[in-house]
Amino acid sequence: MLYCYLYNQEATNKSKSIEAGIISFKNLNSGFIKMNFSEKRGINENLITQDKLELFLEELKGIIIEILDSNIPFKQNENLPF
């Protein structure tokens, strides 16, 4: 989503459809796995709209503010197997 946001900032044609996803090294044969925004099983909602980018930015800002807040300590998850 960050790459989509950055691309959208520089794009001259903002109406062009954008999709995001990953290439899983664990499952290389799957190829490009698109991000799906649908909460319903079997429904594919892959296009990234301006609304989705704005929601992403709100979440990202919240995470960064939490990381920088000295009143919230970092805690290690004790249940990790490593």
What pLDDT does residue 12 have?
73
What pLDDT does residue 14 have?
66
**H-only helix segments in 1-82:** 2-10, 50-68
What pLDDT does residue 15 have?
65
Query: How many residues can be counted in the chain?
Result: 82
pLDDT digits (tens, 9 = 90+) for 18-67: 888 989 999 899 999 888 888 888 888 888 888 889 999 999 999 999 99
What pLDDT does residue 59 have?
95
What pLDDT does residue 76 have?
83
